[in-house]
Structure 1
Amino acid sequence: MTTNILHVLNGDAARHPLEASGAPGDFTIWADPLHDGPVPGGLDDDQLRQVRARHLADGVGEHEADVLRTLRDWDAALARWETYDEVVFWFEHDLFDQLILIRHLDWLSRIAPSARRFSLICIGEHPDVPEFSGLGRLSPAQMLALLPARQPLTVTQVGAGSTAWAAFRADDPTVLERWIQAQDPTVLPFLPVALTRHLDELPGLDDGLSRSERQALRALAAGAFTFSDIFRATQRMEARVFMGDLSFRRILRSLASGVTPLLESADDRFGLTAAGHEMLAGRADNVGLNGIDRWMGGVHLTTHRLWRWDGKVSQF
């Protein structure tokens, strides 16, 4: 087995046990939460990095220049792929990972469309971890045992990932819906469900809330008051946990800062406002109360450019 390998992982939680396992090669991460904020089409890689850095730094106490440097470092590590005999992508089944996977597959379609030297480990469960929620839950020995099962990426997978990436970055979300409906689910088996979960973040048909916003309000109504309690409660509502705490903080901040706030906060404790109770009772609409100005991938949602999603039947 070659030892000149670059392992590309979804974050430090997965990188650390793999490094500790004795697996041969070098290790890097690529961990931009692409489900959070703008990923518009029509931009080159450098322009997109700048858009992402501006969004990710906003409101979380980070300097945009520092975030941009991190994004450039991740891309620079990938750009050295030709110095390795093999590049192994390590991913999971959730939305966070699947979006990064199709981003990388689109990149491959431009720099190495044959995908030679590239392989994939992508799992949604593990026999020794009954409630599997990610590679970071595995021990070093469990991570190392996955390495021989990696599969070479195929031209078909690269093509499917590239078209999915274009659909995700389209300015009309129905493009992504059509991609999901048209695809062979065996090519990238976790992707259709993950992208459907992305569409669940569109304003709901009945209440104008995204699924994550709705779950946050329900967690509050059920008795969760601190940020950590609300975050954990909403994670338990997900079949495939994908959202990190910084993205979730943005959601709570938005719910608390509208013209008609749906929640109130003080000292990291939160509570529903009267409008929040009305929303959960089905007697109010968040877009009607607060308008909307939000990015989801390539879609810029405003009160004048709005799509609503019926999560019960997964359609517009």
Structure 2
Amino acid sequence: MKKLPTLHILNGDETVKAFAEASIPGNTLVWREVLSEGPAVNTIPEKEFWEKRQEFVTNAYPGASEEDYRQKVLEELSKLEGLSAFFEVVLWFDADLMCQLNLLYLLHRLQQNPPSMISVCTPAPETNIAHLSPSKLDELFQKRQQQSAEQLNQAHDLWELYAGPDPLRLQLYLEQFKIILPHMEAALKLHVLRFPDCQTGLSYPEQALLELVNEGANTKELLLQEFWHQLPEYGFGDAQILYLLNRLQPDLIQETAHLRLSFFGDRVLEGIGAFMPKPHWLGGVKVDAHTAWCYNKSTKRLALNGNSTKRK
């Protein structure tokens, strides 16, 4: 059977409009999941994997319903089964952490049953595909990077480590092997910074939120703007930042007329107190007060957590 020429996998609805204006030939599939947030566990069957994802998304993000998830995520996901019908699959993903972890999953999945050609279009860091002009999108397409078997194999290995239960294995891989996937090493190092600090219990993004509120971002609108401005490399949208904020309220950040740090939030920011992380997932690792790993700022590495039961 003759193969269809090209399938473009676009990251999010914002990319769709810009892509349509560029008139690049081929079919499209829209990827709407956010695998940087919530459980992404490789030790369970695939059906259960997506059930856990649906449960997380519909509980974590206001306005997300099971029906929306079925239509916007699961129905698109089912189209991945037919990728072998295409000669080339082109993945359009930005360089930030959120996009790169979505890309990592798709490369891992494509590695298992690859079409004839797999290519990636990623603009320079802090550049968003959705904001590119039609001519810039076409230029990016002409410069797309075909993925080698070695790159696909590494993507598979890295996804298994990201979605696995031991983040030290991921850290060790990053230290011992050259990462041949552009932008992926930077994204995974940012991921490691999301583990609780060994002293404060805060992840790097959570620490940033406290600092921004302390510096005067006293409304959610201001906080969102400042987070985007100071940490664009994470690629978080409103929903992801507000999900982070919710984990810190009311213990560290309180909201009356304005956002402000609580007394305990001040102490944690000063390095006097230590926060007990609320339960959440980082890939395949469940993070809570008893998590076995924390991030050591002195060594800039994950370490076994000797203080997991001593925090507030």
TM-score (norm. length: structure 1): 0.88
Query: What's 1:31 paired with?
Result: 32
Q: Are residues 1:15 and 2:8 paired?
A: no
- Write the distance in 2 (CA, Å) between the matches of 1:216 and 1:110: 39
Identical aligned pairs, as a percentage? 23
| Length, aligned pairs only | 299
Matches within 5 A, 1:265-284: 265-266=255-256, 269-284=258-273
Does the CA contact (< 8 Å) of 2:18 and 2:131 recur in 1?
Answer: no
What is the CA distance between 1:297 and its match in structure 2?
Answer: 0.5
Counterpart code for 2:109: W
Deviates more, 1:301-310 or 1:141-150: 301-310
- 3-state SS of the aligned residue for 1:208? coil
**Contact 1:94–1:241 (CA under 8 A) maintained in structure 2:** yes
Counterpart in 1 of 2:74? 72
Task: Give the match for residue 48 of structure 1.
Answer: 49
Alpha-carbon distance, 1:204 to partner: 0.7
Which residue in the other structure is 2:291 paired with? 305
1:263 aligns with: 253
- 1:174-213: CA deviation from partner (whole Å, max 9, x where unpaired): 011012112213x102111110101111001221101111
2:92 is paired with a residue whose SS is: strand
Q: CA deviation at 1:266?
A: 4.1
SS of 2:9's equivalent in the other structure is strand
Aligned residues of 1:133 and 1:240 also touching (Cα < 8 A): no
In 2, Cα distance between equivalents of 1:95 and 1:312: 23
Q: Who is 1:96 aligned against? A: 98
Q: Does the aligned pair in 2 maintain the 1:18–1:144 contact within 8 Å?
A: no
Q: Which runs of 5+ in 2 are unaligned?
A: 303-312
Q: Compute the displacement of 1:55 (Å).
A: 0.4
**Aligned equivalents of 1:150, 1:224: Cα separation in 2:** 40
Q: 1:152 deviation in Å?
A: 1.9
Equivalent residue, structure 1, for 2:275: 286
Offset of 1:311 from its aligned partner? 4.2
Match of 2:240 among 207, 226, 247: 247
Gaps of 5+ in 1: 126-131
- The range that moved more, 44-53 or 220-229, is 44-53
Q: Give SS of 1:296's match.
A: strand
What is the 5 A alignment of 1:123-162?
Answer: 123-125=123-125, 132-162=126-156
Asked whether the 8 Å contact 1:93–1:124 carries over to 2, the reply is yes
Alignment equivalent of 1:184, drawn from 178, 186, 194? 178
Secondary structure of 1:58's aligned partner? helix
| Cα distance in structure 2, aligned partners of 1:69 and 1:256 | 32
Deviation per CA, 1:24-44: give whole Å up to 9, x if none.
112222131111111112223
- 1:78 maps to a residue whose letter is L
Structure 2 CA distance, aligned partners of 1:158 and 1:311?
A: 32
Per the TM alignment, residue 107 of structure 1 is displaced from its structure 2 partner at its CA by 0.7
Amino acid aligned to 2:153: G
Deviations 1:3-50 (A, max 9, x none): 832111111222211111111112222131111111112223322111
RMSD over equivalenced CA pairs, Å? 2.0
Report SS of the residue matched to 2:109: helix
Could you tell me whether the CA contact under 8 Å between 2:119 and 2:144 is conserved in 1?
Answer: yes
Instruction: Note the alpha carbon deviations across 1:59-103, whole angstroms, 9 max, x for none.
Output: 413223432432212212322223323211112211111111110
3-state SS of the aligned residue for 2:301?
A: coil
